[in-house]
Copies of this chain bind each other. A is one copy, B any other.
């Protein structure tokens, strides 16, 4: 049994080494740069050896995607400590955009690559705490629900739909910036500020 445990530990260790190398490759050259050969070169093993620990290149990419999303979740989670739901939403937005801009390749891997990766992050796997995507969404839903419960919302809409709307809009700021590079001349941080301020107070002057 002890031997089995040791093998198990070594196996986990090797997988970690592979994933570390894979992550470095993606961060440097993007998802297309991730090949089994490059990973093998980086960890100084033969390409075939990796297949003893991962079923395929796709499996590695999937784990990277999962990790990346956990990093995103960890980056925005501290906002949950803010008591006031409005301030919490604003901070979530700040943190989300900052993560996307500072981790472009990770964000691209999750949200702008093959849809199958992102999709799986939001699939319900019957876990107690739900998929990581749903955990992140719950932060938004919770804030909107509190606002509604406190009678502070002027708009009559489901917190869930409002949360998805806000996520989509903030995602757009990050995604368009990563997609076009120069198009939105206005910095992402400024666009986020404009977005949230306008969402909060509305575009129009009182008549």
A residues contacting B by CB (< 8 A) are 86, 111-112, 115, 118-119, 121-123, 133, 147, 151-155, 157, 160-162, 164-165, 167-173, 175-186, 190-191, 194-195, 197-206
A24 and B124 CA atoms in complex are apart in Å by 35
Which residues in B have their C-beta under 8 angstroms from that of A157?
A: 194
Interface centre among A115, A153, A170, A182 (most CB of B within 10 A): A115
A184 to B168, Cβ gap below 8 A? yes
Q: A35: shortest Cβ distance to chain B, in Å?
A: 15
Which residues in B have their C-beta under 8 angstroms from that of A161?
A: 186, 190-191, 194
B180 to A164, Cβ gap below 8 A? no
| Chain B, residue nearest A151 (CB) | B205
Tallying the copies of this chain within the complex gives: 2
| Chain B, residue nearest A133 (CB) | B183
B133 to A179, Cβ gap below 8 A? no
B172 to A168, Cβ gap below 8 A? yes
Which residues in B have their C-beta under 8 angstroms from that of A199?
A: 198-199, 202-203
Q: A205: shortest Cβ distance to chain B, in Å?
A: 4
Which residues in B have their C-beta under 8 angstroms from that of A185?
A: 160, 164
Contact of A181 among B115, B172, B178, B190 (CB under 8 A): B115
Which residues in B have their C-beta under 8 angstroms from that of A186?
A: 160-161, 164-165
Q: A132: shortest Cβ distance to chain B, in Å?
A: 12
| Chain B, residue nearest A180 (CB) | B118
Q: A86: shortest Cβ distance to chain B, in Å?
A: 8
A185 and B171 CA atoms in complex are apart in Å by 16
A153 to B203, Cβ gap below 8 A? yes
Q: A135: shortest Cβ distance to chain B, in Å?
A: 13
A179 and B65 CA atoms in complex are apart in Å by 13
